[in-house]
Structure 1
């Protein structure tokens, strides 16, 4: 075994001092005929296999050479899975260890006639399967993603290539079907550039667009039509959606247009064997189109002509495993590397989408204002002034306007009620001094999961008696009312109407077109057959008041997603939002102008130097560890260091989240900011510094993240 050459995809000055020493030794030594330690017979042609080993460690982020035994010659082809002997690190080569090392999975990326290493090579232990699962295109994409996010190639490949299922692999894939006919524009005709976009895809062009979809149920069929138009040109297509409900809607629309057999569905709900079988159908060329959730962004579609993403602002598109890539950025890399079309669609608009339009990289694809007003429901607002003068709002939580909208809506269909928080009463405070109620054992927030129940949200202990540590009060008031309590209140107010809830524990996919109250948390709203007659968007302050750069953008996205399920103004659809009407996100909702809101946000961020205009990275750890790390990082000259700022300590009993510091430790965070064009240099510098630190033994943990979602 030996380290590969510069073509292995490493970035920066080298992962570590150890490996740099090994490479210097390799370059000075003359190349020799490959041989193994045991003298086993090798393949007659191309006896060296260059392997990417499944070790997601930055200082080992390179290729390694192995000898190919003669008995594995036929099966050991580029792209197949293999098992190799791999020690604790590359120092086993330098130390001259002739045997040992654990069996580790890997992929062959290349067969070569000779190695850059002059010493004996370890032999491939086994070929797991002769199925070539790692194509050169997928390898190049994974390398680009790893470099962008300062991660390792092995980590990206774990996301890109699903685990093997022998039974699925043994089943043959069906023969590919001929391309379908070009679809009729249908509801794409509602957009001035819509028919032209489909025609460009059908004729083999690669248009790029940011699509502001009209409210209503037609978006799934429109996205399916774009996929079919691409298939009609003889090319493949890929569509990534945020959740299983969206995938099911597009799957139904796509099946209705072209039948079954031309597309694969990649979701985690399918199970390992079925999902791997679908993935193999794409890899083998049996299915030319893919729709799926986040992991489908790496699907090996042959001759891809379109990559599409729906609702890029949804947090589900952000991968939770290293190196934490976002589906939007991965598809942008695919569009650039594979020169294919790109479609970013949503009823809302993120700042990143607006930047694609402002830069000229993509064209806007939107309906005119008259069409928007016709399709969107009537939006009415209730601000703080109205609430203060409203007797009904003081006695209960719903203002008079909301009660009227519910009553009117229930005459013709279901009514949606969006509540920002789940549970019964998720946050409580002292009635006298308004101090948040805390657990006496762990200082976690107290919550009421049901009426007359009180427990800690962190440690789960039931609390029988409570008193305020500040004023000694013993009575509690609701700081935030959850979906369950709201459903209970509405049930008492409308006793003859069924009340259903949809949230994290139980998400409804659809509800019938008959009078009912549907209480839902954001993102869990079911689709109503024929659309909702009305919708209430409660507690707008809870989403707008979050201390986050994206609070306004996220609140508007949640509101638009719910309001898009309501019937249009011509059918009497009404939406009541309980939020201050003078705020920019509320005004954008009233006008139904998500692109205008995103453009104004982008202009303000450009003035302040915030993402996405600039590129940012976060470095978290103990104060001394961060200082030492930054001292070794060769940051770009234009990099700004913001911080450090202390992070709140994580309690031992609190539910763990990705990126949380270890329990009881006081961590700090530093933000690094660079102007446009320096993002790659920043990622390379951070990756090199982290590689060197890990090669020397690491020490205290330092966590690096490119494009952190939460910067305050």
Structure 2
């Protein structure tokens, strides 16, 4: 039960406001009529600036007296009888917001979904039901014998292995682990196929749950969630708490209320699941933290990996990072000894490297002849996966007359062909109907390179009679059956095949390695390892072309040494994650004032440099601040102070004006942006 006033007359409230200058606690009087019902964590309405203007907020704590010298306004009303904000989640929100120079309220908007009164009443009625009404969905896994998935034959009793018991013991004792699961899919007792990592993480979560502790699993996208959900169901846990962006608002709030219960839960979700309330938290499990889908797009842009590290430290819960290829951030923590790497060597798909001297464009088809022969042979036994770099028809368009790369006349972005004979900008989507070459005034575009759709078109000719399937952002597929098929998929969109693929072919290796990003090598290893992991146990992965250190690390399986060398180079160049970074952007005067607040800290500042702006907007600049981890708290504090001062000054200047969009030159902060040094 949440804390009551117990005679204390002051409630300290965090206002639900996006204004950074309001990101602190305000004191309000506890009125007599609410004293018996008010609780820490409840959402309330309070007067702000006047008795008639009301704002929402959360009760954070109670105090005997206030340091405010005047008369305190009283809490107006309790919005919800349910204390939505637990003390653990509040401490987490405050800590990660301070680390990122942001507002705790922004974190809480990620953590606490919109209230639905009907759902809340139903939940409270269920809590008031007789205690002998048992919810079978949350029974301990060893007690579950009923069917799952399709609900056919009863499932066998599940018992954790010695390895899972050891992992659960470490996690519930607060250990921080990095695990590399074996490659290959696995078949569940329900008959469904899932990736081996999904079953492994489900078994770890269930072993933690069997000890009376909650487990939170943070996963990049809905396909990962579906696989873990299927694995949990097959093991007897048929109704985990799910935090999913595809849920309706009422479903999301119902799941949130379940996670608020005093009962241990298994919570499975996307980015915001890391903030879910959980009774007796035993472990936070993060899958594939290097996936850019996990990067938080909303201020203050805190990555779930960083939030998980803070939460584990605060709560004493265990932390498990799992991936087929570790991120540089996790590898750094392993090398520091802060995270312990698993010692069990995983099973890995056999990798074959085709002749690196043979370029794909130098052969008659989309793939070299060696790869074509391997594909034909594998198609006799089952499905074959071909990973390509880009969706659409052709990723690049050039001028037919001079051969220069075509650029969009609207935004300057590169032009490509998303479909045959229809060129459009890859940045803004504008169709190039009236394009004209800036070099020679030519007006005809020609295709260069092959996207997923053009690859399918060529494969239908090259492998006549084969069933060719496409999976990309516009044509997503989650699963394919075990029948022979040639599946063309963009990176990250590869469907799971029943029994695994007989062969996985990696195309466009040079194009992927040439991406203008600091993490090109790291991302390639993750894309390739995740694709290779979809092969059958006796299948293989074929690298169709390419060479160099990254390809060599993948072919030989020596990814750890490559990551170590990569970290050493980033240390020499002062690039993340060897150092932390903060991007400071806004008007020139605003950025200069913010940088001035960092005087005396002995940090590295790059810029300010001009930034692109919309027509009519004032010029903007951006500076990049690089600093050691030990100075992170002080840098965030000072930049946050500059942000608050800028916002408060802006409010004073704009008082009485018609509300509109944010001031273009306003100061903006973004800490630990993975793309800050990208081209």
The TM-score range, normalised by the shorter chain, is 0.7 to 0.9
| Contact 1:504–1:524, Cα closer than 8 Å, also in 2 | yes
Task: Choose which of 593, 601, 621 in structure 2 pairs with 1:637.
Answer: 601
Q: How does 1:78-93 map to 2 (within 5 A)?
A: 78-87=40-49
Task: Choose which of 257, 260, 267 in structure 1 pairs with 2:244.
Answer: 267
Q: Kindly provide the CA deviation profile for residues 11-44 of structure 1, in whole angstroms up to 9, marking residues without a partner as x.
A: xxxxxxxxxxxxxxxxxxxxxxxxxxxxxxxx99
The answer to which of 692-701 and 504-513 deviates more is: 692-701
Q: Could you tell me which residue of structure 2 aligns to residue 133 of structure 1?
A: 84
| Cα distance, 1:590–1:287 mapped onto 2, change above 3 Å | same
Divergent runs of 4+, >6 A: none
| Cα distance, 1:455–1:234 mapped onto 2, change above 3 Å | closer
| Contact 1:579–1:586, Cα closer than 8 Å, also in 2 | no
| Contact 2:160–2:207, Cα closer than 8 Å, also in 1 | no
Task: Choose which of 291, 298, 315 in structure 1 pairs with 2:292.
Answer: 315
| Contact 1:209–1:363, Cα closer than 8 Å, also in 2 | yes
Task: Choose which of 370, 386, 391 in structure 1 pairs with 2:358.
Answer: 386
Q: Could you tell me which residue of structure 1 aligns to residue 23 of structure 2?
A: 61
Q: Could you tell me which residue of structure 2 aligns to residue 493 of structure 1?
A: 462
- State whether structure 2 residue 610 is matched by structure 1 residue 646: yes
Q: How does 1:24-39 map to 2 (within 5 A)?
A: none
**SS across alignment from 1:421:** coil
Q: How does 1:397-412 map to 2 (within 5 A)?
A: 397-412=366-381
The answer to which of 130-139 and 500-509 deviates more is: 500-509
Structure 2 distance, partners of 1:265, 1:465, is: 48
Structure 1 distance, partners of 2:524, 2:643, is: 36
Q: Could you tell me which residue of structure 1 aligns to residue 551 of structure 2?
A: 586
Structure 1 distance, partners of 2:670, 2:469, is: 40
Give the TM-score normalised by structure 2. 0.87
Q: Could you tell me which residue of structure 1 aligns to residue 338 of structure 2?
A: 361
**SS across alignment from 1:705:** strand
Structure 1 distance, partners of 2:10, 2:433, is: 70
Q: Return 5+ residue gaps in structure 2 as ranges.
A: 128-132, 144-157, 186-195, 652-662
| Contact 1:82–1:125, Cα closer than 8 Å, also in 2 | yes
| Cα distance, 1:596–1:83 mapped onto 2, change above 3 Å | same
Q: How does 1:233-272 map to 2 (within 5 A)?
A: 233-261=211-239, 263-272=240-249
| Cα distance, 1:513–1:65 mapped onto 2, change above 3 Å | same
**SS across alignment from 1:643:** strand
| Contact 1:354–1:599, Cα closer than 8 Å, also in 2 | yes
Task: Choose which of 640, 648, 665 in structure 2 pairs with 1:687.
Answer: 640
Q: Could you tell me which residue of structure 2 aligns to residue 23 of structure 1?
A: none
Structure 2 distance, partners of 1:163, 1:141, is: 20
Q: Once the 2 structures are TM-superposed, how far is the Cα of residue 701 of structure 1 from its aligned partner?
A: 1.8
**SS across alignment from 1:536:** strand
| Contact 2:178–2:342, Cα closer than 8 Å, also in 1 | yes
- State whether structure 2 residue 173 is matched by structure 1 residue 205: yes
Q: Could you tell me which residue of structure 2 aligns to residue 557 of structure 1?
A: 526
Task: Choose which of 155, 166, 169 in structure 2 pairs with 1:196.
Answer: 166
**SS across alignment from 1:83:** strand
Q: Once the 2 structures are TM-superposed, how far is the Cα of residue 210 of structure 1 from its aligned partner?
A: 0.4
Q: Kindly provide the CA deviation profile for residues 110-146 of structure 1, in whole angstroms up to 9, marking residues without a partner as x.
A: 2333222131222222211110111111111111111
Q: Kindly provide the CA deviation profile for residues 578-624 of structure 1, in whole angstroms up to 9, marking residues without a partner as x.
A: 4422x222112101233222222112222222222211111122334
Q: Once the 2 structures are TM-superposed, how far is the Cα of residue 249 of structure 1 from its aligned partner?
A: 1.0
| Cα distance, 1:465–1:696 mapped onto 2, change above 3 Å | closer
Structure 2 distance, partners of 1:668, 1:127, is: 44
Structure 2 distance, partners of 1:149, 1:316, is: 19
Structure 2 distance, partners of 1:69, 1:290, is: 37
Q: Once the 2 structures are TM-superposed, how far is the Cα of residue 672 of structure 1 from its aligned partner?
A: 0.8
**Aligned alpha-carbon RMSD (Å):** 2.5
Q: Could you tell me which residue of structure 1 aligns to residue 205 of structure 2?
A: 227
Task: Choose which of 40, 51, 73 in structure 2 pairs with 1:99.
Answer: 51
- State whether structure 2 residue 138 is matched by structure 1 residue 168: no
| Contact 1:532–1:567, Cα closer than 8 Å, also in 2 | yes
Q: Once the 2 structures are TM-superposed, how far is the Cα of residue 84 of structure 1 from its aligned partner?
A: 1.7
Q: Could you tell me which residue of structure 2 aligns to residue 454 of structure 1?
A: 423
Task: Choose which of 78, 88, 103 in structure 2 pairs with 1:152.
Answer: 103
Q: Could you tell me which residue of structure 1 aligns to residue 349 of structure 2?
A: 376
Q: Could you tell me which residue of structure 2 aligns to residue 121 of structure 1?
A: 72
Give the TM-score normalised by structure 1. 0.83
Q: Once the 2 structures are TM-superposed, how far is the Cα of residue 65 of structure 1 from its aligned partner?
A: 1.4
Q: Could you tell me which residue of structure 2 aligns to residue 507 of structure 1?
A: 476
Q: Once the 2 structures are TM-superposed, how far is the Cα of residue 524 of structure 1 from its aligned partner?
A: 1.1
Q: Once the 2 structures are TM-superposed, how far is the Cα of residue 442 of structure 1 from its aligned partner?
A: 5.4
**SS across alignment from 1:358:** helix
| Contact 1:236–1:301, Cα closer than 8 Å, also in 2 | yes
Q: Could you tell me which residue of structure 2 aligns to residue 337 of structure 1?
A: 314
Q: Once the 2 structures are TM-superposed, how far is the Cα of residue 470 of structure 1 from its aligned partner?
A: 1.3
Q: Could you tell me which residue of structure 1 aligns to residue 654 of structure 2?
A: none
Structure 2 distance, partners of 1:639, 1:332, is: 25
| Cα distance, 1:299–1:466 mapped onto 2, change above 3 Å | closer
Q: Return 5+ residue gaps in structure 1 as ranges.
A: 1-42, 88-97, 653-662
Structure 2 distance, partners of 1:667, 1:542, is: 33
**SS across alignment from 1:477:** strand
| Cα distance, 1:435–1:134 mapped onto 2, change above 3 Å | same
Task: Choose which of 469, 482, 492 in structure 2 pairs with 1:523.
Answer: 492
| Cα distance, 1:462–1:224 mapped onto 2, change above 3 Å | closer
Q: Could you tell me which residue of structure 1 aligns to residue 438 of structure 2?
A: 469
Structure 2 distance, partners of 1:491, 1:664, is: 50
Q: Kindly provide the CA deviation profile for residues 614-667 of structure 1, in whole angstroms up to 9, marking residues without a partner as x.
A: 111111223343223312x135622111223334x2567xxxxxxxxxx86643
Q: Could you tell me which residue of structure 2 aligns to residue 657 of structure 1?
A: none
Q: Kindly provide the CA deviation profile for residues 504-558 of structure 1, in whole angstroms up to 9, marking residues without a partner as x.
A: 2232111001111211111111100100111222212222112221111011111
